[in-house]
Amino acid sequence: MTLPQTLTYKAYGYKNNRSPIQEFERSINLVPSNGDYIAPKDKVLIKIAYAALNPVDIKIYSLIYSILNLYSSNFGFGADFSGEVVSVGENVVDYKVGDLVQGVYHSLKAGTVSEYILLDPKKTYIAKKADKIDLAHSAAWPLVLGTAITMIKDLDLKDKKVLILGGATSVGRNLIQIAKIEQAREIIASCSGKSEELVKKLGADSIIDYKKHSNMLNPVLESAKSGKFDIILDCWGGDELFSSMKYILDGTYNTVVGDSIGNSKISLLKSVKSPIRQIASTFGLLPYKYNLLFLNHSSSGPGSVVELARDYLSTGKIEIFIDHIYN
């Protein structure tokens, strides 16, 4: 593929949270090399095949106030992607032209709902495409499966009693499947009744139907009567359990949402309690371990979450979910 010195392409983005998502024209400056133009030093240029959309994209969009236009006149949309490497810069050794890849590239200025992205593979959550998975499904797992693995990366799930809050969410579905693979003794997941069949198919032993309860505390306490949970994995949010945690949990509480539920500004502000709880846990002031976790978007290479995710996919035991595919 012959590239021009300035590559002009189309991408979706927005000016701020009061403006619509719209198409922009962007450009990337390439560097001369042996009569051609290639990606800048340490960078790879990827032609996007698919970009996945996630709730976090909407949360970020909601926080981009007009004042941030002093930083940028428009912001990119989307983080998950799959595609083909079309150019590599000097010093890049792990990738070559023609490699199919997937990953998460989070940059406010350059989202992945775009024809191209330019990135540093040593500072980005990226890996070569997993075998036997097409490019559409390759774009659908990086953020959600990577987040699930971040939540369990340092935990021993074998023979443990596990509660997964938000079992039917994209991350929750992956957590259930991983807990099953890692031979958890008992997997209980919260979800709505309409998701019960799916959640049990993925590996949950039983569910707590949150729509039947005005407060999650009572059914969780009931489930803990047969033995406290060893691990609680929270991808839903809320703070209803903490007042009675000594009766519920004897182990670790990992969350990627904190106390917030939904995308509203109020729910996001409510999450300030979570870092305080994290600090208290660090200093041993809680009777359980509490961790507020985030996917490391700058991690790649052997032992990274993206590589571990690909290892799980190679087992053939992880189902990748896609709601819709749009042109």
User: Tens digits of per-residue pLDDT, 305-319?
Assistant: 888 888 889 888 999
Reading the block at residue 184, the tokens are 């958890």
Structural domain includes residue 309: no
35 with 123, same domain? yes
Structural domain includes residue 304: no
Structural domain includes residue 298: no
User: What pTM value is reported for the model?
Assistant: 0.89
- Is residue 84 a contact partner of residue 102, using CB atoms and an 8 Å limit? no
Report the CATH number that the domain containing residue 159 is assigned in CATH: 3.40.50.720
115 with 191, same domain? no
DSSP codes, 235-275? SS---TTGGGHHHHEEEEEEESSTT--SS-HHHHHHTTHHH
Residue 303 pLDDT: 67
Structural domain includes residue 237: yes
pLDDT per position as a tens digit, 93-147: 999 999 999 999 988 888 999 999 999 999 999 999 988 899 999 999 999 999 9
Q: What are the CA-CA distances from residue 37 to residues 2, 98, 99 (Å)? A: 8, 16, 19
Residue-number span of the structural domain to which 96 is assigned: 6-140
Residue 298 pLDDT: 66
Residue 272 pLDDT: 72
176 with 91, same domain? no
Reading the block at residue 172, the tokens are 């929750």
70 with 158, same domain? no
Total count of domains within the chain = 2
Structural domain includes residue 314: no
Domain stops at, among 118, 140, 162: 140
Model confidence at 265, in pLDDT bands (50, 70, 90)? very low
Model confidence at 304, in pLDDT bands (50, 70, 90)? confident
132 with 154, same domain? no
44 three-state secondary structure: strand
Q: What is the rounded distance in angstroms from the CA atom of residue 248 to the CA atom of residue 121?
A: 42
pLDDT per position as a tens digit, 32-64: 999 999 999 999 999 999 999 988 888 899 999
Structural domain includes residue 103: yes
165 with 131, same domain? no
36 with 175, same domain? no
126 with 211, same domain? no
Structural domain includes residue 80: yes
For residue 214, how far is the Cα from the chain centroid? 28
11 with 75, same domain? yes
167 with 134, same domain? no
Structural domain includes residue 26: yes
Amino acid at 274: S
Report the CATH number that the domain containing residue 69 is assigned in CATH: 3.90.180.10
- Is residue 222 a contact partner of residue 207, using CB atoms and an 8 Å limit? no
Q: What is the rounded distance in angstroms from the CA atom of residue 319 to the CA atom of residue 114?
A: 26
130 with 169, same domain? no
135 with 150, same domain? no
